[in-house]
């Protein structure tokens, strides 16, 4: 029996790395990738010479709308859950449960975001929020707890060791 885990077995239930949940942008490693993105209709305002902004214009539900033509950096990226599932160190069912838990935490976070705040903006000023010692305004408390819970979960399961956002020593 062939037990190989294909990328789609997991990623088609997730899609988080193509939204703005994990990163604010994705690098472009060649002019050809950049030109192809523009030709396929990516918003030119959201493409720099070496990166494009997330969430990606080509995300369709949880799937890539330009899968055969996606940039090399998208093709190369594998989060730690996908790596573990493909290496056989995590059963696919456990990997799917991990993805489902992350998606549920993300849904909770999006629902708690204060008006005008985005996942990217929260990530950008997380250090400031985390280290300021200032009390959290009551109207932002739910979002901060949800942001912390979601990113701690990503740090534990999806990001490589030492590359955490809220837990850098893991
Ligand atoms: S975060 Fe991981 S599991 Fe989810 S779509 Fe990206 S590579 Fe796949
Ligand atoms: S091009 Fe496809 S794989 Fe790359 S970020 Fe956009 S939707 Fe995701």
pLDDT over 90 percentage in the chain:
70
Give me the chain's average pLDDT, please: 90
Going by alpha carbons, the residue nearest to atom 6 of ligand 1 is 17
Is ligand 2 within 6 A of the CB of residue 47? Answer: no
Q: Verify whether ligand 2 is closer than 6 Å to residue 21 (CB atom).
A: no
Q: What is the rounded CA–CA span in Å between residue 155 and residue 170? A: 8
Task: Specify the residue with its C-alpha closest to ligand 1, atom 8.
Answer: 11
150-163 pLDDT, tens per residue? 999 999 999 988 77
Range of weakest confidence among 31-35, 113-117, 164-168:
164-168
Q: What's the distance, CA 156 to chain centroid?
A: 14
Which has the higher per-residue pLDDT, 57 or 116?
57
The domain locations on the chain are 23-76, 80-157
Ligand nearest to the CA of 14: 1
pLDDT attached to residue 17: 95
Instruction: Give one word for 146, left, alpha or beta, with left for phi > 0 and alpha for psi -120 to 50.
Output: alpha
Buried b (16+ CB within 10 A) or exposed e, 150-164: bbbbbbebbbeeeeb
pLDDT in tens, 33-80: 999 999 999 999 999 999 999 999 999 999 999 999 999 999 999 999
């Amino acid at each position: 029996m062939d037990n190989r885990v294909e990328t789609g077995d997991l990623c088609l239930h997730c899609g988080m790395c193509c939204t703005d949940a994990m990163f604010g942008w994705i690098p472009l490693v060649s002019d050809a990738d950049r030109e192809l993105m523009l030709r396929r209709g990516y918003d030119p305002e959201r493409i720099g010479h070496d990166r494009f902004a997330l969430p990606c214009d080509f995300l369709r539900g949880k799937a890539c709308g330009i899968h055969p033509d996606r940039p090399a950096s998208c093709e190369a990226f594998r989060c730690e859950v996908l790596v573990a599932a493909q290496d056989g160190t995590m059963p696919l069912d456990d990997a799917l449960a991990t993805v489902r838990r992350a998606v549920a935490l993300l849904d909770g976070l999006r629902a708690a975001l204060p008006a005008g705040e985005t996942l990217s903006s929260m990530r950008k000023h997380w250090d400031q929020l985390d280290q300021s010692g200032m009390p959290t305004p009551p109207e932002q408390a739910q979002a901060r707890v949800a942001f912390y819970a979601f990113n701690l979960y990503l740090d534990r399961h999806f990001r490589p060791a030492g590359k955490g956002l809220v837990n850098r020593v893991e």
